[in-house]
Structure 1
Amino acid sequence: MLSAKNTARFILTSVPLLLFLSLLMACYINARIVHKGIVKAVILFPMVIPVSTTTLFCRLLFDDAGMMNGTIRAFGGDPIRWMDSGYVFWVLVLLYIWKNIGFCVILWCAAMDAIPKEIYETAKLDGAGFFTRMGRIILPILSASAFIIVLLLVLNSFKVFRESYMLTGNYPHRSIYMTQNVFNNWFQSFSVEKMAAGAVIVALVLAAFVMMLQKRLMMRLDER
């Protein structure tokens, strides 16, 4: 139960945050940045960094003797046990966002590039501001792309056990004890029956989630 609750909490926290931040970045890049190719290459850089390197960097930042605690001590504060408290959940969310935000921005930018420029120009001539264009033009057109992005982000969130394991080991803090840790423990004890049953349950949950998203998307497209 704890693993399912933490997995749901992680998805419901990290995916909306990542969607919102990446969409803002994509809008800014499309509207303000001239050399978009260079910017896109830079923001994709975290994806090519190995997981072991990113987790090592996080440990350098958030370890008991890391840079964050060093800064806190320098200002006279008490150090925080980032890896052994509920703060590790937000460290994991931050790491997940940093690793995946470039990928999301590229997908948003590709979808925005497919929107005819005449639509933007007509809306500006009619006096539509940024938020009006976002709510009435961009978001409705990007609904199909949003479906793909949300689906990929949810699937990627189930791979976060690598970062969780490398950050805190086989038995992490209870706030990041997720479904993947349960499977890892079952694998070590060779509980094949439990792993098979758990895999079927996870597959059914993901299938139901995909069908729900697809139904929602079809309803939005029918309304248009």
Structure 2
Amino acid sequence: MKIIKKFRGYFFILPSLIGFSILYLIPFIGGMRYSVSKSGFDDTFVGVENYKNVFISDAFRLALKNTGIFMIISIPLIIIISFVIALFLYEVKMPKWVKLFIIIPIAIPSASSVGFFRKLFGFGAFNILNTEFAMLGVILIFIWKNTGYNLIIYLAGFTQIDKSVIEASEIDGANYLQKLKHVIIPLLTPTTVFVGIVTIINSFKVFKDVYILQGSYPNPNIYMLQHYMNNKFRDLQYEKLTSAAYVFAIVIFLFALLLFYMDKRHARKVGDN
């Protein structure tokens, strides 16, 4: 009975673990065999040859570059925008319908939202989808759709701030900018880390919007890693698909690791102070 009580918490998450293992973990591990095989239909071991072929591929390097540009610009930008809006709503105490208006894009189907942006950016004087500025349109779509989600997280983070700390800073004579820099932002660092991880995950979902916009082979300036993998899957080139997927996974892991490092460093700094 003691053993059962000790591990009973794990029994509650066991169904989720089984589903996650069957649908994600096992296929992910099993795919390693394809990444070191000659092809999806030939099990001849080729080592890292597939990874070399992927990195010398012009299509992969283009996709990697575009995905990197998209993430470097859109992720910090949406985090800043979400924080500023959340701070404004928290300080001004806006009506609930204003928050609802910002959150609504989450519930709008991708086909509908992309159709609107196609009309906005794809015709007339504002036609940028077929130009070198097409990435700007993709970034705007991403920010419009995901700001509300991040806003919910930030508003929850604001409610968890100990108001006595803010009041103590006011008693010490801190102005608003000083409170923001030295109290509010540091206290929201764990929330920002979580928002960053969620944003990284959501940033890879932008492929669906780009695919609806321009299909499997869009403007080269918005050709993403998911396009590359999707096209390799369609062409049954599983060895290149899995190799690219593991590179993709490493990129996500490194971004997440960086955010966790920042959070841990912040926690250690706060503890020292």
User: Normalising to structure 1: TM-score of the pair?
Assistant: 0.89
Instruction: Name the counterpart of 2:180.
Output: 134
Instruction: Name the counterpart of 1:22.
Output: 82
In structure 1, what is the Cα distance between the partners aligned to 2:214 and 2:105?
A: 21
**For this pair of structures, how many residues does the alignment match?**
210
Does 2:92 align with 1:46? no
Task: Pick from 256, 263, 267 the counterpart of residue 217 of structure 1.
Answer: 263
1:103: Cα distance to partner? 0.9
Could you tell me which runs of 5 or more consecutive residues in structure 2 were left unpaired when the two chains were aligned. Answer: 1-60
Instruction: Name the counterpart of 1:118.
Output: 164
1:188: Cα distance to partner? 1.5
Deviation by residue 1:51-83 (Cα, 9 ceiling, x = unmatched): 00000000111122xxxx3xxxxxxxxx35311
1:212: Cα distance to partner? 2.3
Instruction: Return closer, same or farther for 1:34/1:184 CA change in 2, 3 Å cut-off.
Output: closer
Task: Pick from 140, 145, 163 the counterpart of residue 94 of structure 1.
Answer: 140
The alignment partner of 2:174 has SS state of coil
Aligned residue runs from structure 1 range 1-224, under 5 A: 1-35=61-95, 37-64=96-123, 69=124, 79-224=125-270
Amino acid aligned to 2:65? K
1:126: Cα distance to partner? 2.8
The alignment partner of 2:129 has SS state of helix
Higher-Rg structure is: 2
The alignment partner of 1:128 has SS state of coil
The alignment partner of 1:82 has SS state of coil
RMSD: 1.4
1:187: Cα distance to partner? 1.4
Could you tell me which runs of 5 or more consecutive residues in structure 1 were left unpaired when the two chains were aligned. Answer: 70-78
Deviation by residue 1:16-46 (Cα, 9 ceiling, x = unmatched): 11111111111110111243x3332221100
In structure 2, what is the Cα distance between the partners aligned to 1:2 and 1:220?
A: 35
In structure 1, what is the Cα distance between the partners aligned to 2:130 and 2:94?
A: 44
Deviation by residue 1:124-145 (Cα, 9 ceiling, x = unmatched): 2333222211110011111111
In structure 1, what is the Cα distance between the partners aligned to 2:104 and 2:226?
A: 26
